[in-house]
């Protein structure tokens, strides 16, 4: 078979659109996909380039079929890890395998069921901050909701609200700093020697000290709260030893980073889509009213809210919080006739895969019915939580939380029809912007 050449987008083209790319790179990438095909190479300098792909088969090959030859890029393993440590999201190789085996049982559905009452309570408290009958930006409320949910799932005991707010500030500040580093590489020397990076690393050290105090307090009390912290403290490696404290703090920081921002993004986009489709919103309301009257446990309630789950899955198809997946191949590889040189930077565009006309009928249309009969994770062009061995460990927790959040809001409020477009802000995750909604009490 004749070898295929990967089409190339020039460095000049990249420079020409640099200002627009800093604000939102997605239109630039979409234009290149339409012109060059499902896989292209973007030149970023004389020796530096990135291979972009919206081919789901290529993504599955790198993430699952030949995943041993593909590692995460330094964006996560180095750039992000300096702020959050070497937890599941940022670690590689034997450390990742060891931690995944250790932590996986804590996210089993039976274990998560013990947390549902706590999760619902946190959701109900945060929903009280919705100002009714007034147009408000819903994202800050849902962002707080998602962070509080992670905090309560980890630490069931009461924590001072000032401490929680400080942890949230530090977590979000570190991510914003990383975005600046990635989007403004020409300021690298200033960031490194001018103080910003050191300042944010110091903030992370402060967060670790706060968490260390909470962990030591739990150990000293001897109380069991049956929360994620207990599960992590109870976890044992194959040799019977427990996690070292520094590793435990890394994993908790990762849960804060990975567990709240993507969830708040997805919830915000979901509510905006429901506001644009009142008929679908009413179907969700009717379903959750029926489920509430006919179930006797939160897990049973969630399982009965199948259409709500479809709504969330469709929202994450249109607006995937993790809109890119990065990989670097360890050795030279070949896919579909294309040679992938050793140490190539690969970016799989999840948002482009999710809207690819070859794999989705009417891809721009919001249609939860496409996920009927549990079709979501079976679809070969659907990656809301990644794929393969490194699929998000908290995907079940996230879905449970989001179903509870959406149904709780829709039971209490009717969201007024939204006429304005849904706006996005692509950073490390795909964030919403100007998510103005009006919630009317039912």
DSSP structure class, residue 412 = H
Question: Is 324's pLDDT higher than 90?
Answer: yes
Please give the pLDDT value at position 1. 54
Q: How far lies 166's CA from each of 139, 206, 207, 364, in Å?
A: 19, 9, 8, 39
Which of 247-261, 270-284, 310-324, 398-412 has the lowest average pLDDT?
Answer: 247-261
**Stretch 14-26: mean pLDDT, rounded?**
86
Please give the pLDDT value at position 76. 82
pLDDT digits (tens, 9 = 90+) for 69-127: 999 988 888 888 888 889 888 888 899 999 999 999 888 888 899 999 999 999 999 99
CB 175 within 8 A of CB 89: no
Query: Which residue, among 250, 244, 301, 243, has the nearest Cα to 82 in the 3D structure?
Result: 250
Question: Is 65's pLDDT higher than 70?
Answer: yes
> Exposure string (b/e) for 288-300, b if CB count within 10 Å is 16 or more?
beebeeeeeebee
Rounded distance between C-alpha atoms, residue 132 and residue 438, angstroms: 7
CB 51 within 8 A of CB 39: yes
All structural domains of the chain with their residue ranges:
54-441
- Residues recorded for the chain: 442
The mean predicted confidence, pLDDT, of the chain is 92
Please give the pLDDT value at position 179. 81
**CA 22, 24, 26, 31 torsion-angle sign:** negative
Higher pLDDT, 192 or 329: 329
Pairing of strands 49-53, 345-349: parallel
DSSP structure class, residue 235 = -
DSSP structure class, residue 86 = S
CB 28 within 8 A of CB 9: no
**Stretch 24-45: mean pLDDT, rounded?**
94
CATH tag, 54-441: 1.10.630.10
SS3 189: helix
Beta-ladder partners of 328: 71, 345
Rounded distance between C-alpha atoms, residue 361 and residue 365, angstroms: 9
Residue 67 — very low, low, confident or very high, per pLDDT cuts 50/70/90?
A: very high
Please give the pLDDT value at position 273. 98
pLDDT digits (tens, 9 = 90+) for 185-219: 778 888 888 889 999 999 999 999 999 999 998 88
Q: How far lies 144's CA from each of 151, 165, 171, 206, 268, in Å?
A: 10, 9, 12, 20, 12
Please give the pLDDT value at position 2. 64
Query: How is residue 112 written in tokens?
Result: 């998560």
Residue 310 — very low, low, confident or very high, per pLDDT cuts 50/70/90?
A: very high
Query: How is residue 138 written in tokens?
Result: 């819903």
Please give the pLDDT value at position 261. 87
Please give the pLDDT value at position 254. 86
Rounded distance between C-alpha atoms, residue 414 and residue 292, angstroms: 17
Beta-ladder partners of 423: 433
**Residues 98, 99, 102, 107, Cα dihedral to 10°:** -140
Residue 354 — very low, low, confident or very high, per pLDDT cuts 50/70/90?
A: very high
Q: Would you tell me how many other CB atoms lie within 10 Å of the CB of residue 160? A: 8
**CA 380, 384, 386, 391 torsion-angle sign:** negative
Query: What is the end-to-end Cα distance of the chain in Å, rounded?
Result: 63
Which of 10-19, 366-375, 396-405 has the lowest average pLDDT?
Answer: 10-19
**Stretch 238-266: mean pLDDT, rounded?**
90
Which of 38-47, 120-129, 177-186, 191-200 has the lowest average pLDDT?
Answer: 177-186
């Amino acid at each position: 078979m004749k070898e295929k050449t990967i089409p190339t987008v020039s460095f000049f083209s990249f420079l020409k659109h640099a200002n627009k790319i800093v604000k939102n790179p997605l239109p630039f990438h979409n234009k290149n996909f339409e012109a060059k095909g499902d896989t292209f190479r973007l030149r970023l300098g004389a020796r530096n380039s990135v291979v972009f792909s919206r081919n789901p088969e290529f993504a599955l090959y790198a993430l699952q079929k030949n995943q041993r030859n593909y590692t995460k890029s330094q964006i996560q393993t180095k750039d992000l890890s300096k702020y959050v440590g070497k937890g599941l999201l940022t670690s590689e190789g034997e450390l990742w395998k060891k931690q995944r085996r250790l932590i996986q049982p804590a996210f089993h559905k039976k274990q998560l069921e013990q947390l549902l009452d706590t999760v619902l309570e946190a959701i109900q408290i945060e929903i009280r901050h919705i100002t009714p009958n007034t147009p408000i930006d819903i994202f800050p409320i849902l962002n707080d909701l998602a962070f509080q949910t992670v905090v309560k799932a980890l630490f069931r005991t009461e924590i001072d609200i000032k401490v929680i707010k400080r942890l949230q500030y530090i977590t979000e500040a570190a991510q914003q700093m990383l975005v600046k580093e990635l989007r403004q590489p020409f300021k690298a020397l200033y960031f490194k020697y001018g103080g910003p990076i050191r300042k944010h690393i110091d903030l992370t050290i402060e967060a670790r000290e706060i968490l260390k105090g909470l962990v030591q307090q739990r150990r000293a009390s001897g109380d069991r709260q049956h929360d994620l912290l207990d599960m992590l403290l109870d976890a044992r490696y194959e040799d019977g030893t427990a996690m070292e404290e520094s590793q435990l703090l890394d994993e908790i920081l990762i849960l804060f980073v990975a567990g709240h921002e993507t969830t708040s993004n997805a919830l915000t986009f979901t509510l905006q889509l429901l506001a644009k489709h009142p008929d679908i919103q009413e179907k969700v309301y009717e379903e959750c009213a029926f489920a509430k009257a006919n179930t006797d446990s939160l897990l049973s309630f969630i399982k009965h809210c199948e259409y709500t789950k479809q709504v969330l899955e469709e929202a994450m198809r249109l607006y995937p919080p993790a809109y890119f997946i990065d990989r670097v191949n360890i050795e030279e590889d070949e896919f579909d006739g294309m040679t992938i040189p050793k140490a190539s930077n690969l970016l799989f565009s999840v948002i482009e895969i999710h809207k690819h006309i070859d794999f989705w009928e009417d891809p721009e249309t919001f249609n939860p019915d496409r996920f009927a009969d549990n079709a979501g994770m079976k679809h070969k062009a659907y990656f809301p939580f990644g794929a393969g061995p490194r699929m998000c460990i908290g995907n079940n927790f996230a879905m449970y939380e989001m179903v509870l959040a959406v149904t709780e809001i829709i039971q209490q409020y009717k969201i007024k029809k939204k006429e304005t477009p849904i706006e996005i802000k692509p950073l490390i995750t795909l964030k919403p912007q100007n998510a103005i909604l009006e919630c009317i009490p039912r």
